Chains A and B, each alone.
Chain A
Amino acid sequence: EAGVAQSPRYKIIEKRQSVAFWCNPISGHATLYWYQQILGQGPKLLIQFQNNGVVDDSQLPKDRFSAERLKGVDSTLKIQPAKLEDSAVYLCASSLDSGSNTGELFFGEGSRLTVL
Chain B
Amino acid sequence: GQQVMQIPQYQHVQEGEDFTTYCNSSTTLSNIQWYKQRPGGHPVFLIQLVKSGEVKKQKRLTFQFGEAKKNSSLHITATQTTDVGTYFCAVPNSNSGYALNFGKGTSLLVTP
Contacts and interface: CB of A to CB of B under 8 A. Distances in A.
Given A42-B102, A108-B42, A100 B88 contact: no
Contact of A102 (B35, B88, B92): B92
Given A104-B33, A107-B42, A42 B98 contact: no
Interface residues of B, number: 25
Interface string B78-112: 00000000001010111011111111110000000
A82 B102 CA distance: 24
Interface residues of A, number: 25
B48 interface: yes
A70 interface: no
Interface string B5-49: 000000000000000000000000010010100000111110010
A106 B45 contact: yes
Interface string A90-105: 0100000011101111
B43 A43 contact: yes
Contact of A98 (B42, B94, B98, B104): B98
B108 to A, nearest CB: 14
A101 to B, nearest CB: 8
A67 B88 CA distance: 26
B92 A110 contact: no
Interface in B29-81: 30, 33, 35, 41-45, 48
A42 B99 contact: no
Contact of A56 (B44, B88, B97, B103): B97
A113 to B, nearest CB: 15
Q: Pick the 7 closest A-B CB pairs, nearest first.
A: A42-B102, A55-B97, A56-B97, A107-B42, A104-B45, A56-B96, A48-B99
25 contacts: A35-B102, A42-B88, A42-B102, A43-B43, A43-B102, A44-B102, A48-B97, A50-B97, A55-B97, A56-B99, A58-B96, A98-B97, A99-B97, A100-B92, A100-B94, A102-B92, A104-B45, A105-B35, A105-B43, A105-B45, A105-B90, A105-B100, A107-B42, A107-B43, A109-B42
